[in-house]
Structure 1
Amino acid sequence: MSTHNEKPIATGQAEFSEAEKLELRKKHYNGTITERIDIHEGLARFRIRPDNGFSPFKAGQYVAVGLGNWETRLPDSQDEKLEEKKFKKLTRRAYSISCPLLDQQKMVTVNEIDYLEFYIALVKHAASPDAKAPSLTPRLFLMGDGDRVEVQKKIVGTYVLENIKPTDTVLMISTGTGEAPHNAMTTDLLSSGHVGNIINVTTVRTRLDLGYLPEHEHLQAAHPNYQYLSYTTREVENWDKTHPGYVGKQYVQDLFSSGLLAEHAGDPLSPNNTHVFLCGNPSMIGYTPPGADPPATPGMLQVLKDKGFVEIDDHKNADQKNSIDRDGPGTIRFEKYW
């Protein structure tokens, strides 16, 4: 086991002897962290190899990762109050499977490697005081190379590439770690010989949050039809109007509406030839359940619909038909993390 586990226990958590922990891990865990790549203290890439491998899956799909409630939590994370009957249970969370993009400077797809890569942000405190304390990442971020975890056996999800012609434009928009499934989709498209524009857009707080930037730059240099466009919201040029490079907060909704995104991409991003994929912050996506009021600030769903795109919600009836080919250009797919 790594030395990550030697930190003191957080309050509000049952204590176990190391012998008890080893026995519980042996009973429940079925995967090993082969490599942890820290971007910064609150963001990391975890490579996990399931003991029994995994069946081929589609880029964009997800799987749950679990750790026991007996594992140590970060001492400065929100207190977690557990019922005694849950002390020996596992806590799980589903994560879209990312892709390393490169292996020894060679492009790889998710099915060409023997591990699953996850792009994970540390959450130590719930968004609101009355919400449940974050459970998984305060434990996971004390784990490192060689540590054991649980990986659910079934990789699932409908947020995948479907019926995309080789000449179509694929526009993928994310915030933060929502980039993960798009990384998998990127190498899947490039390795299949896709010749249309592939535009991977992400918005982050600061440039330090761009955990795959070198890999994306390598792919851009090797593939003229691929672009990785990153935007920030909390760099000095986003808030200091006296800064010579002041651009304001760069929200993708504004970039798309103004035409700047199309200009930066060198593509009209028209519903006539463009498939759109959205993953990340619910405010960016702008999804509203049936019957709910639209968001006060439009998300990408509202912006895109105004431009003639049509939403595909694969979380509804799979047989639902739209006014255009549900798998053709002009459609919007989105992933949910809420």
Structure 2
Amino acid sequence: MSEIVETVPFDAKRIGELKNKYYNATVVHRIDTHPDLARFRIRPDKPFPPFEPGQFVSLGIGNWENRVEDTQEEALTEKDWAKCIQRAYSISCPMLDEHGNLATVNDVDYLEFYVTLVRHADPGQPPPVVTPRLFGCGIGDRLMIGKKIVGHYTIGSINPDDTILMLSTGTGEAPHNAMAAHLLSNNHRGRIVNATSVRNRIDLAYTAEHARLMDQYSQYCYLPFSTRDPENIDANHPGYVGKQYLQELFVSGKLAEMADDPLDPKNTHVFLCGNPAMIGYVPPGAEPPSATGMLPLLKEAGFKDDHDYEGPGSIRFEKYW
């Protein structure tokens, strides 16, 4: 068995060699929402050709990089320390440039990532590798970007008057922001509803951009919900609303009411991204989740879970599991 090394066994020269071997992109901006949530703008050395909003790419960082404090410890062999570990991330979007104009994924020379710091793994899982190191990076630091931007979670063919319903949890909002900017830039006339649910409202990183978009485009609607703020859990709170899960909001009709749209499958396309429990996809042979996800609820409402169908009433969802 290889010896476990507790500190980086390489000198500066060796680390420089590893960076030159693997790294091909630079952090050009970082926007922190709070210590565990940030937007990273990373510029690849070689620009990517135009790609579809909603797609993803791998983001890599070397095991030799320092982790931020208060994250789970790792036990690495000397061979492990020389590895550059990659994870797939959906590409987000600034949505607006510094002048307040629409900015799509293909209007900027960087890739934006919306990332949560994972400090500790779930029981029985290996320690998180990428985010504890990524959150130690600042402007000018180097990283690795995968060779190709890929993925089938894209807008596809949609009638310009159809309704778009995008449901997400947490950083699953990222591809939907890219889609929303693209639809607006292409003069989509139908309702665009971008709804997301987070634990706490401090976990919303794009509220200012969404507010400006709603001021500029009457067809755009951003609906943020939370589940663990005082108004969600304290029945005596003057603004008590209970835990706002997307599934319950959809079934109760509150989502359609707040979206000011019937969300009828006859003219509505649904996109789902985020927590598997919210999506409700059950892989073959797996046990169904304890709580009902959106997929069965949407099917009951007349939507279709058919990846070969792109017409009204279609359901599309992103999954990395």
TM-score by length of 1: 0.91
* CA drift at 1:81: 2.0
Give matches, 1:224-235, under 5 Å: 224-235=218-229
CA distance in 1, matches of 2:118, 2:169: 16
Matched with 1:127 is 122
Residues 1:110 and 2:110 are matched in the alignment: no
Paired residue secondary structure (1:312) = coil
Q: 1:134-187 CA deviation, whole Å, 9 max, x = no partner?
A: 000000000000000000120000000011000000000000100000000001
Matched with 1:5 is none
Paired residue secondary structure (2:257) = helix
Matched with 1:214 is 208
Matched with 1:168 is 162
Matched with 1:337 is 320
Residues 1:307 and 2:290 are matched in the alignment: no
CA distance in 1, matches of 2:287, 2:161: 37
Residues 1:60 and 2:54 are matched in the alignment: yes
Q: 1:257-294 CA deviation, whole Å, 9 max, x = no partner?
A: 00000000011111111000000011111110134443
CA distance in 1, matches of 2:10, 2:119: 22
Q: Is the Cα–Cα contact under 8 Å of residues 12 and 79 in structure 1 kept in the other structure?
A: no
Matched with 1:182 is 176
Q: Is the Cα–Cα contact under 8 Å of residues 63 and 80 in structure 2 kept in the other structure?
A: yes
Matched with 1:272 is 266
CA distance in 1, matches of 2:75, 2:302: 48
Pick aligned residue for 2:310 from 324, 327, 333: 327
Matched with 1:198 is 192
Q: 1:216-236 CA deviation, whole Å, 9 max, x = no partner?
A: 000000000000000011110
The AA in structure 1 aligned to 2:70 is D
Paired residue secondary structure (1:229) = strand
Residues 1:285 and 2:279 are matched in the alignment: yes
Paired residue secondary structure (1:284) = helix
Q: Is the Cα–Cα contact under 8 Å of residues 9 and 78 in structure 2 kept in the other structure?
A: no
* CA drift at 1:76: 1.9
Matched with 1:73 is 67
Paired residue secondary structure (1:49) = strand
CA distance in 1, matches of 2:11, 2:278: 44
Q: Is the Cα–Cα contact under 8 Å of residues 113 and 174 in structure 2 kept in the other structure?
A: yes
The AA in structure 1 aligned to 2:210 is H
Residues 1:28 and 2:43 are matched in the alignment: no
* CA drift at 1:310: 1.2
Paired residue secondary structure (2:194) = strand
Paired residue secondary structure (1:311) = coil
Matched with 1:139 is 133
Decide whether aligned partners of structure 1 residues 287 and 12 sit closer, same or farther in structure 2, where only a CA change above 3 A counts: farther
TM-score by length of 2: 0.96
Q: Is the Cα–Cα contact under 8 Å of residues 13 and 80 in structure 1 kept in the other structure?
A: no
* CA drift at 1:28: 1.3
* CA drift at 1:13: 4.7
Matched with 2:95 is 101
Give matches, 1:221-260, under 5 Å: 221-260=215-254
Q: Which runs of 5+ in 1 are unaligned?
A: 1-10, 314-320
Q: Is the Cα–Cα contact under 8 Å of residues 95 and 181 in structure 2 kept in the other structure?
A: yes
Number of residue-to-residue matches in the alignment? 316
Paired residue secondary structure (1:111) = coil
CA distance in 2, matches of 1:290, 1:197: 34
Matched with 1:316 is none
Q: 1:58-99 CA deviation, whole Å, 9 max, x = no partner?
A: 000000010111111123211112233222111110000000
The AA in structure 2 aligned to 1:212 is Y
* CA drift at 1:12: 4.0
Q: Is the Cα–Cα contact under 8 Å of residues 280 and 337 in structure 1 kept in the other structure?
A: no
Q: Which runs of 5+ in 2 are unaligned?
A: none
Kindly, what percent of the aligned residue pairs are identical?
57
* CA drift at 1:21: 1.8
Give matches, 1:8-27, under 5 Å: 12-27=6-21
